[in-house]
Chain A
């Protein structure tokens, strides 16, 4: 079945450091890929997404590229801020005619940025 393997945390970085959180997936066909973020005390929010191979999703300085050849969707940011401290989830969704397939999540990576 479908699965997502995510870099284990927690990850602690200094402000303005470069961030990479690894994510690889196993799926049949061509899933859509997502990064969700969960700030303390809040619900999951979509951070970025990519729906086909070689697509790059980007938002708030974060980027991730859908790499079919390596089945990966690594999250990167060039210069992190304290406000980026949160838990990050990689997820995939099977392709369907209506886009209402369930999300399969990784285990999450807790990121802490220290000033």
Chain B
């Protein structure tokens, strides 16, 4: 089966510019996650969707970051305006969600988008 797709793979922008990232999860996966991975750190969850609803966006800097998953399939993460500290890899992940074998639901990760803010 196809994996999680992300685009673009790389993006370089100036500070105060806007940028958008796209993610297409594995077909049939109801849960979609966006993580931010700053160099030298582990990924940190920014936002989690269940179908087209937000489950957790407690660590999303809402003054500049926004995300949507309008039809419950693919998703877009936007930064406006970007700051130097937003330089990171943005990872999208998806998982099948259900009560059966819940303990085994695995998150599958895309290749990430590497953002450099100059």
How many Å from the CB of A47 to the closest CB on chain B? Answer: 11
B42 touches A107 (CB 8 A): yes
Chain B residues lying within 8 Å of A102, measured Cβ to Cβ, are: 33, 45, 48, 56
How many Å from the CB of A73 to the closest CB on chain B? Answer: 14
How many Å from the CB of A53 to the closest CB on chain B? Answer: 13
A43 touches B112 (CB 8 A): yes
- Cα A44 to Cα B6 with chains together (Å): 13
Q: Which of A6, A42, A99, A107 is B105 in contact with, Cβ under 8 Å? A: A99
Which of these binds chain B: A12-20, A64-72, A76-84, A90-98? Answer: A90-98
How large, as a class, is the contact surface on chain A?
Answer: 20 to 34
Chain A residues lying within 8 Å of B105, measured Cβ to Cβ, are: 98-100
Which residues from chain B sit less than 8 Å from chain A, CB to CB? Answer: 4, 31, 33, 35, 40-45, 48, 50, 55-56, 91, 93, 95, 97-99, 101-112
Which residues from chain A sit less than 8 Å from chain B, CB to CB? Answer: 4, 6, 32, 36, 42-46, 49, 51-52, 89, 91, 95-100, 102-103, 105-108
